[in-house]
Every structure is written in structure tokens, then in C-alpha cells.
């Protein structure tokens, strides 16, 4: 590739390749730290200790170069993950959706009970508290300035602008990593959006703004009439699930090199989620579940496959 002929990009490529190899083999290295490493392919016996070789050097015909002694890892589809491109984006999303909707099967086999139970437990607690905290935000005008800044339209435009701008900048700078990050962000948001629409159509929860200030904030499920895209339902928060999907991709892709990126990404997503409560578009439980789902889908479905 012409890009890799430049010394700077060649170094970056080598660093990214080393990180990928380290991620593939780190788990095996930890579990088998006490075991002797396997011999390279074609080696019939282990080489003697260096101290022994210094006293009794091997004949020339038995000496093997250092490069030949290093095992060559076999990179298959299971270790390299899927590629990401515009052409592959539809098939990648279908693969993500398959894993997403078959997740209950993994629970049935006893996997992931702790994180799933934690998210469900916190959501249940917030659902019980919604009837007590939602009326406060329904009546107060304390957050009027904040709400005008983080309106629903402004938040949606910001969420859509970030990956679009990142992809455009990547094209101008010939930065394939930025372009791939933008595509992964779009993939994560589409995956999360499909789930959010399905849950909204099933839950049909009233928004806090649909309830009078002195109304009943307890009986809210199966009361609204959402459209085909779930716009009329509150559970979960669509803005929040998209914001945290985007934030997770950016934070995981750039956070190790630039730790401040994590604070900006998750902080911005948190502000979007909080604005949904102060705007009375969602209950706190809607926002929490949207944040948890957006993070989980981006990290453990999209990035796990790539």
C-alpha cells in the first residue's frame, strides 16, 4: 500500500498490528503463564540453555537463525475479526442483530448473568423511583437554560454530526483509522436503534410530558400509541442509547492513546441523557437502560466482532 511507505504511517501500522496480536494472545498468556511455551513448528527438540551453548556451541549445520525460531501465528477469521467498509456494513449489521436477539439463549446457558442481572436490578429500582422523582422535573423551571442548549433536535443533530465529521476528516487526511471508527459508530448506532424501536413499540410507555403535573406517574406502560419508529414511547431513551453507542466506539478506539477522549465522549453522552430527564422526554429509568444498552451493544457486540 502506498500509505504504508511513509515512515510515520508505517510505524503506526506496526503499533496497531502489535496491539491486535497482543489482544489475541493475552488471555492465553495469562492462563498458561506457568506452562512452557510450545516449540516452533518443525522443531524436534528444545534448544539448550544459553549458558550451555556458550560452552558447547552447536555445529554450524545445527544452528538455526533467531527469526526461524520464532513461531508464526496463524491469523484466521476468528482472530482477525470482520473487516469494516461501506460494502460490508449491511452484512455486519445483520450479524450483530443475530447476536443481539439470540442473547437470551446465552442467558439460558448460564452466561452473563451478573451484568444482565445488575442492569435489570438497577432499572427495576429506578422504575420504582420514577413516580417520585419525575414530578419534580415536571414542575421545575431550574433547567430552562440547560434545556434550550440540549434540546432534542440539537442533541440528535450532534449525535449524527460526530461520525459524519469524523469520516469526512478521515477522507481529507487519508486516515483509514478515523474512517473505520466512523463506520463502526454508524454500525453501533444502527444496531442500537433497531433494538430501541422494537422495545418502544412493545413497552408503549407514556412520556413524563404527557402526564399532568399532578397526574399519576406510576401507571405509564402500555398507554401510549407510538408510531412505526417508536417516537411516541418513552422506554428506553432513543437519544441516550445512540449517544452511548457512539461514545463507546470513540472512547474504546481513541481512549488508550488519549485518555481525555473517554471523559469527553462519556461526559457528552451523559449530558444528552440528563437532558432527556430535564426536558421531561424520559424517566430516569429510560435513560439508564438506554445508556447501558448502548454501551453494551457497542463494546460487546460491535467491537467484539471487529
Instruction: Give the CA distances from residue 101 to residues 113, 161, 183, in Å, rounded to whole numbers and listed in that order.
Output: 16, 28, 22
Question: So what's the pLDDT on residue 232?
Answer: 79
**296: number of CA atoms within 13 Å, CB side?**
15
The structural domains of the chain, ordered by start, are 2-80 (no CATH), 89-305 (1.20.144)
| Percent of the chain at pLDDT exceeding 70 | 72
Question: How many Å from the N-terminal Cα to the C-terminal Cα in the chain?
Answer: 22
Q: Is 82 exposed, middle or buried (0-12, 13-18, 19+ CB in 10 A)?
A: middle
Question: So what's the pLDDT on residue 163?
Answer: 96
Question: So what's the pLDDT on residue 139?
Answer: 85
What radius of gyration do the chain's Cα atoms show?
26
Question: So what's the pLDDT on residue 7?
Answer: 53
Q: Cell 498458561 belongs to which residue?
A: 32
Question: So what's the pLDDT on residue 226?
Answer: 67
Is 284 in contact with 133 (CB distance < 8 Å)? yes
Query: Model-level pTM?
Result: 0.72
pLDDT per position as a tens digit, 225-269: 766 666 778 999 999 999 999 999 999 999 999 999 999 999 999
Distance CA 69, CA 131 (A): 67
pLDDT per position as a tens digit, 119-146: 999 999 999 999 999 989 988 889 999 9
Q: How many residues does the chain have?
A: 306
Q: Is the pLDDT of residue 47 over 70?
A: no
Arithmetic mean of pLDDT, 195-202: 93
> DSSP string covering 149-168, please?
HS-HHHHHHHHHHHHHHHHH
Q: Is the pLDDT of residue 95 over 80?
A: yes
Amino acid at each position: 500500500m502506498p500509505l504504508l511507505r511513509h515512515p510515520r504511517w508505517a510505524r503506526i501500522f506496526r503499533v496497531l498490528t502489535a496491539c491486535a496480536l497482543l489482544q489475541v494472545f493475552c488471555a492465553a498468556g495469562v492462563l498458561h503463564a506457568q506452562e512452557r511455551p510450545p516449540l516452533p513448528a518443525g522443531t524436534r527438540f528444545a534448544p539448550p540453555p544459553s549458558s550451555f551453548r556458550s560452552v558447547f556451541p552447536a555445529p554450524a549445520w545445527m544452528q538455526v537463525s533467531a527469526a526461524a525460531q520464532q513461531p508464526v501465528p496463524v491469523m484466521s477469521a476468528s482472530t482477525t475479526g470482520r473487516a469494516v467498509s461501506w460494502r460490508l456494513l449491511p452484512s455486519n449489521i445483520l450479524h450483530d442483530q443475530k447476536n443481539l436477539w439470540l442473547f437470551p439463549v446465552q442467558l439460558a446457558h448460564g452466561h452473563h448473568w451478573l451484568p444482565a442481572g445488575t442492569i435489570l436490578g438497577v432499572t427495576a429500582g429506578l422504575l420504582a423511583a420514577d413516580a417520585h422523582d419525575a414530578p419534580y422535573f415536571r414542575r421545575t423551571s431550574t433547567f430552562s437554560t440547560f434545556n434550550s442548549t440540549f434540546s432534542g433536535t440539537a442533541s440528535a443533530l450532534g449525535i449524527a454530526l460526530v461520525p459524519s465529521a469524523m469520516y469526512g476528516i478521515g477522507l481529507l487526511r487519508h486516515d483509514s483509522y478515523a474512517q473505520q471508527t466512523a463506520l463502526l459508530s454508524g454500525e453501533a448506532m444502527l444496531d442500537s436503534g433497531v433494538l430501541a424501536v422494537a422495545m418502544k413499540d412493545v413497552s408503549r410507555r407514556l412520556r413524563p410530558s404527557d402526564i399532568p403535573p399532578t397526574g399519576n406517574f406510576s401507571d405509564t406502560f402500555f398507554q401510549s400509541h407510538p408510531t412505526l419508529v417508536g417516537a411516541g414511547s418513552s422506554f428506553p431513551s432513543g437519544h441516550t442509547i445512540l449517544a452511548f453507542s457512539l461514545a463507546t466506539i470513540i472512547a474504546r478506539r481513541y481512549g488508550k492513546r488519549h485518555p481525555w477522549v473517554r471523559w469527553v465522549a462519556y461526559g457528552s453522552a451523559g449530558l444528552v441523557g440528563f437532558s432527556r430527564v430535564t426536558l421531561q422526554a424520559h424517566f430516569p429509568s429510560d435513560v439508564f437502560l438506554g445508556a447501558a444498552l448502548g454501551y453494551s451493544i457497542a463494546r460487546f457486540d460491535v467491537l467484539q466482532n471487529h
